[in-house]
Amino acid sequence: MKLYIISNRLPVKAVHRDGAYLFTRSEGGLATGLHALHTRYEKHWIGWPGVDVETDEDRRSIREELAKMNFHPIFLTPEQIANYYEGYSNSTIWPLCHYFFAFTRYRKDFWEAYRKVNALFCEEILRRIEPDDIVWVQDYQLMLLPGLLREHRPALRIGYFHHIPFPSYELFRILPERAEILRGVLGADLVAFHTHDYMRHFIGTAERVLHIDFRLDETQIGNRCVRVDALPMGIDYAAFHGISSNAGAQPLIAKTREQFGDRKLILSVDRLDYSKGILHRLRGFGSFLERYPEYRGQATLAMVIVPSRDRVNSYADLKTEIDKEIGAINGRYSTMEWTPVRYFYHGFSFEELAAMYYVADVALVTPLRDGMNLVAKEYVAVKNDNPGVLILSEMAGAAVELADALPINPNDTEQIAAAIHRALTMPVEEQLRRIERMQAVVSTQTVNKWAADFMKELADVCRRNEAVRRK
């Protein structure tokens, strides 16, 4: 029995360098989290390898390399990348689900491409699967896929996980294709979200748009039951928690410490995305330096921003704004010895990143909306016997579980400034106490537990549906 994980992006991406293809890790919570997943099933993964590949020869060689890892690529044309990925996925659904209603673009060619690419994934899956395999579809780029698969294989076991927020009915109803999208998702046997709020929004929206009824967390579509649940995704806790004894990371921890000296280190890590509240965070840090001048020269904000979706206008514009804001803060406060904001516009290796988490006195996580935010969990996990404070936006899914973080509303610059000050002056015992309590949660709700819970519930719904079909 095989488990097919289906996501827009594979957990590795092919990068063309010096006439050859190299494979590197993909960015983003979904790929990072799910890649670490261990399961008793033979795990296969279908998705886009992240590049536009021109020749059949190159496609063949990429396919062969990926097959060694049980990864199976879906190649997209430049037009599909523009209209399905940058278009409908990231200029229509993404902004809408993150409450950036004004950024949402409605174009027929985006929608057509979205339908076509979902159908392309469907064909590839149908070519590969056997009747007792399980298909687990991931995220908003593939919301039509469960429905398409269901049309062809009524008895197939299909799960769907939505990794980003699901907005309230008032917002989702704006989408012209709302009914098709919801019907697509309901092709799955189990549909899950990170939080109860997203789940509640989904149920309310489906009831009102499709005129169906839910009984608590279930609805009946024909003779099939569809269950909806909230299952918060976790991380590979052991990998992060063991970082201080990881031989590869030890010299990096020492180097990071040396780099930042005795100064307090405030760290943030995200993809470049308007939903992450990067400008709000910078303004909050600027205000902190303004209000607490004793910290000038004493605290550094290290911002790791991983390039993302840079051909979508709203992302490219944001990059310019961030550069400007950092320039303004650094221009105003820098001294010969100190740069207030250290800005890295590129990714880091797992060990480098974990070393930064380990050394950082504060993690500043300020999304305006975020499905979950695994960075918050990674920071908590890395801490061992060393203190640290997590400042976390109330708008991140992770805030539901991480009650011992310092909560902030990212729209409140003054609150961010005050939270940084509180974090930097918090007694060590309190820091350790809070971290310990959060670790109790993060070490229990790991990525493997999350997946096992999902699979168990999926099996349960499928068993019931099968019994009904047999009658």
Q: List the interface residues with ligand G6P, window 371-400 (CB under 6 A).
A: 371
The only residue of 72, 150, 157, 163 in contact with ligand G6P, by rule CB under 6 A:
163
Distance CA 32, CA 11 (A): 7
Closer to ligand G6P by CB, 6 or 435: give it. 6
- CB nearer ligand G6P, residue 146 or residue 284: 146
Provide the minimum distance between the beta carbon of 85 and ligand G6P in the complex, in angstroms, as a whole number. 7
- Give the shortest CB-311-to-ligand G6P separation in angstroms: 11
Locus of tokens 């990067």:
278
Closest distance of CB 47 from ligand G6P, Å? 9
CA distance 125 to 187: 15
Nearer to ligand G6P, 224 or 276 (CB): 276
Is residue 276 near ligand G6P by the rule CB under 6 A?
no
State in angstroms the smallest separation of the CB of 273 from ligand G6P: 8
Report the residue number, 77 or 330, with the smaller CB distance to ligand G6P. Answer: 77
Among 11, 29, 95, 388, binds ligand G6P (CB under 6 A): 29
Contacts of 96 (CB under 8 A, 6+ apart): 104, 167, 171, 172, 174, 175
Min dist CB 63 to ligand G6P, Å, is: 20
Residue choice 16, 21, 27, 204 for contact with ligand G6P (CB under 6 A) = 27
Return the residue nearest ligand G6P (CB atom): 28
Choose between 91 and 256: whose C-beta lies nearer to ligand G6P: 91
Pairing between strand 134-138 and 2-9? parallel
- Kindly tell me which of 165 and 286 has the beta carbon lying closer to ligand G6P: 165
Q: What would the two tokens of residue 178 be?
A: 């709302």
CA angle 419, 94, 91 (to 5 degrees): 120
- The nearer residue to ligand G6P, 9 or 43, going by C-beta atoms, is 9
Q: Based on CB atoms, which residue is closest to ligand G6P, 224 or 271? A: 271
Residue 13 is a binding residue for ligand G6P (CB under 6 A): no
Q: Which of 149, 158, 164, 419 binds ligand G6P (CB under 6 A)?
A: 164
Q: Minimal distance in Å, beta carbon 309 to ligand G6P?
A: 5
Q: How far is 410 from 416, CA to CA, in rounded Å?
A: 7
Select 27 or 207, whichever has its Cβ closest to ligand G6P: 27
Give the separation between CA 420 and CA 299, rounded to whole angstroms. Answer: 10
**C-beta of 328: minimal distance to ligand G6P in Å?**
28
Q: Is 308 in the site for ligand G6P (CB under 6 A)?
A: yes
* Other Cβ atoms within 10 Å of 55 Cβ, number: 8
Helices 413-424 and 278-291 sit at what angle, rounded to 10 degrees?
Answer: 60
Stretch that binds ligand G6P, among 27-35, 217-225, 385-393, 408-416 (CB under 6 A): 27-35
- Residue 309 interacts with ligand G6P (CB under 6 A): yes or no: yes
Report d(CA 154, CA 143) in Å as an integer: 17
CB of 89: closest distance to ligand G6P in angstroms?
7
Out of 3, 6, 11, 28, the only residue in the binding site for ligand G6P (CB under 6 A) is 28
Q: Which is nearer to ligand G6P, 361 or 401 (CB)?
A: 401
Among 4, 5, 6, 9, binds ligand G6P (CB under 6 A): 9
**Region of residue 372 (left: phi > 0; alpha: psi -120 to 50; beta: else):** alpha
Question: What is the C-alpha end-to-end distance of the chain, expressed in Å?
Answer: 25
The answer to whether residues 273 and 314 touch, using CB atoms and an 8 Å cutoff, is no
- Is residue 65 within 8 A of residue 16, CB to CB? The reply is no
Residue 231 as a binder of ligand G6P (CB under 6 A): the answer is: no
Task: Assess contact for 287 and 332: CB atoms under 8 A.
Answer: no
In which region does residue 211 sit, left (phi positive, over 0), alpha (psi from -120 to 50) or beta (all else)?
Answer: left
243 binds ligand G6P (CB under 6 A): no
Of the candidate spans 26-34, 115-123, 345-353, 379-387, the one that interacts with ligand G6P by CB under 6 A turns out to be: 26-34
Q: Give, for 468, the enclosing helix (H) or strand (E).
A: helix 447-470
Q: Which is nearer to ligand G6P, 114 or 288 (CB)?
A: 114
Q: What's the order of all strands across the beta sheet hosting 389-393?
A: 341-344, 299-306, 264-271, 362-365, 389-393, 406-408
- Quickly list DSSP for 115-167: HHHHHHHHHHHHHH--TT-EEEEESGGGTTHHHHHHHH-TT-EEEEE--S---
Residue 139 interacting with ligand G6P (CB under 6 A): yes
Cα 135 off chain centre by? 20
**Backbone φ, ψ for residue 239 (5° rounding):** -60, -40
* Shorter beta-carbon distance to ligand G6P: residue 31 or 252: 31
**Phi and psi of 306, rounded to 5°?**
-90, 125
Instruction: Select from 5, 6, 10, 30 the one that contacts ligand G6P (CB under 6 A).
Output: 30
Contacting residues toward ligand G6P, per CB under 6 A:
9, 27-31, 139, 163-164, 308-309, 371
